[in-house]
Structure formats: structure tokens, C-alpha cells
């Protein structure tokens, strides 16, 4: 009985090793395809520059992605799920004025 269990365990280990080797080979093939692709290493397009930069009362300069009208007044969406209310604006500068 112990020999039969040992044989079954060894067969299971061999099957897992074969599956693991197959997964490794598949990943290696995908990696090789990506690295040999003409798209690999091309720079990613940068996002467009913001139209406005906002200085908060904490002396942070943040790019304004959009303005929103809320119940508390005007708010600037500065990304990262963050909104700055107009009461906290110290300066709002159009970026085309920097040229």
C-alpha cells in the first residue's frame, strides 16, 4: 500500500513539474515575442500639458485637469481623485502665459 501511495505521489509531482515547465516555456515564448517586437522600447506618448496650473494655500502647484461646479462653489480637478475648492486657490495661472 505504501509503495502504491508513493508511486501516486511521485506521478502527481511529475505531472505538476511538467505543467510548471510548460507554463515557464509559454511565459518565455511570450517574453521573447514582446522583446523582439518592433513596438518594444518605443516611448509612450506624453499626456498633453494642462491649460492651467493652480497654487493652493499649502503652496502646492498642481495641474488642473478640469473645472467643476459643486454645491460648495467652483472646484478644480487635479487628478488622483482630488478636488481643490476655489476657497483654497491662491493663484490660477494659464500655462500659455508662460511662453
Which single residue is written with the C-alpha cell 493663484? Answer: 91
Query: CA 7, CA 12: separation in Å to the nearest integer?
Result: 9
Per-residue pLDDT reduced to its tens digit, 50-99: 888 989 888 889 999 888 888 888 889 888 888 888 888 888 888 876 55
Is residue 19 predicted with pLDDT exceeding 70?
Answer: no
Q: What is the grid cell recorded at 17?
A: 513539474
The answer to pTM > 0.75 is: no
Task: Give me 76's grid cell.
Answer: 478644480
Residues 47-63 have pLDDT tens digits of 677 888 989 888 889 99
| Residue 42 pLDDT grade (very low, low, confident, very high; cuts 50, 70, 90) | low
Amino acid at each position: 500500500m505504501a509503495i502504491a501511495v508513493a508511486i501516486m505521489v511521485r506521478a502527481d509531482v511529475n505531472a505538476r513539474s511538467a505543467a510548471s515547465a510548460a507554463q515557464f516555456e509559454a511565459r518565455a515564448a511570450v517574453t521573447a515575442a514582446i522583446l523582439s517586437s518592433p513596438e518594444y522600447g518605443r516611448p509612450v506618448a506624453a499626456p498633453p500639458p494642462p491649460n492651467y496650473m493652480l497654487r493652493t494655500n499649502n503652496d502646492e502647484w498642481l495641474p488642473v485637469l478640469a473645472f467643476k461646479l459643486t454645491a460648495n462653489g467652483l472646484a478644480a480637478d487635479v487628478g488622483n481623485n482630488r478636488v481643490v475648492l476655489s476657497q483654497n486657490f491662491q493663484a490660477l495661472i494659464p500655462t500659455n502665459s508662460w511662453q
